[in-house]
Amino acid sequence: METTPLTFDSLNDLSREIRSDLFAGKYSPGDWLKQTDVEQRYGANRFEVRMALNELAVRGLLEHIQNRGYRIASHSSIQRDQLYEVRTIMELAACRLIVVRATQEQIDSFGVLVAQFDTAVEVGSREELRVINFRLHEAFYAMAGNTLLAEEIRQNRERGIPGRTGTWDTVASLRASNADHLAMLDTLRKRDAEGLCAVVYRHLNQWRAFSTSATSE
């Protein structure tokens, strides 16, 4: 029997809340999510908590340890390198589709988000930057015209968030990210596939230069 793939839109409200808190840095890699604590923190019942934690484990955001429960996913340096290798392969392939398939309306909409992020770098909060950044990248990969590819890119991107360092840890890293967004827009407007791929490759991997990880990485 064919099953329906899990997508963001299928997550229940509790899953979304936990996911949002995780991306906002309210949890750290390895933190245990005790069922009773989650029930109290989010005002949910036992069934809702079990379903939410299971869904987030399927997405790779949590680890399920037999007879112990769920904890925030923690990646080794090898796992993180492999994840970014997979992301690089998929996202560069998407860039070549985007250059061909993006409509002018889509490019203009992407440009609005790039401008919003550029402004928020100077005056916005970290949460505002995070929200705009998510919308910006979703709009970018939607232009590939392949919903399955866009969903795979999003899920792999989210899997790498717990414990990630080198991204916005300093003013320099934040400004570098913003400069990449502006360059992505510029090369896309020129329909420059090689230029866009080069910028996205740099954007994906510049965390290595800025990383100050205190984990096993």
SS (H, E, C) 139-195: HHHHCCCCHHHHHHHHHHHHHCCCCCCCCCCCHHHHHHHHHHHHHHHHHHHCCCHHH
Interaxial angle between packed helices 46-58 and 35-42, expressed in degrees from 0 to 180 and rounded to the nearest 10: 110
129-184 confidence digits (pLDDT tens) = 989 999 999 999 999 999 999 999 999 998 887 766 546 667 888 899 999 999 99
Give pLDDT, residue 10: 43
43-82 confidence digits (pLDDT tens) = 989 999 999 999 999 888 899 998 899 999 888 889 888 9
Asked whether the whole model's pTM tops 0.75, one would answer: yes
Which residues on neighbouring strands pair with residue 33, listed in sequence order? 70
Residue-range domains of the chain with CATH:
8-72 (1.10.10.10), 77-210 (1.20.120.530)
Q: 170 φ, ψ to 5°? A: -135, 165
- Residue 142 and residue 150: Cα distance in Å, rounded? 6
Q: What angle do CA 158, 18, 56 make, to 5 degrees?
A: 55
Token pair belonging to 111? 């440009």
- Residue 100 and residue 182: Cα distance in Å, rounded? 19
Q: Is the pLDDT of residue 203 over 80?
A: yes
2-30 confidence digits (pLDDT tens) = 444 444 444 478 898 998 888 888 888 88
Which residues fall within 8 angstroms of residue 195, CB to CB, at 6 or more apart?
187
80-139 confidence digits (pLDDT tens) = 889 999 999 999 999 999 999 999 999 999 999 999 999 999 998 888 998 999 999 999
Q: Is the pLDDT of residue 216 over 60?
A: no
Q: Where are the strands (E) in 66-146, listed by range?
A: 69-72
- Asked whether the beta carbons of 168 and 126 are under 8 A apart, the reply is yes
Decide the pairing of beta strands 69-72 and 32-33.
Answer: antiparallel
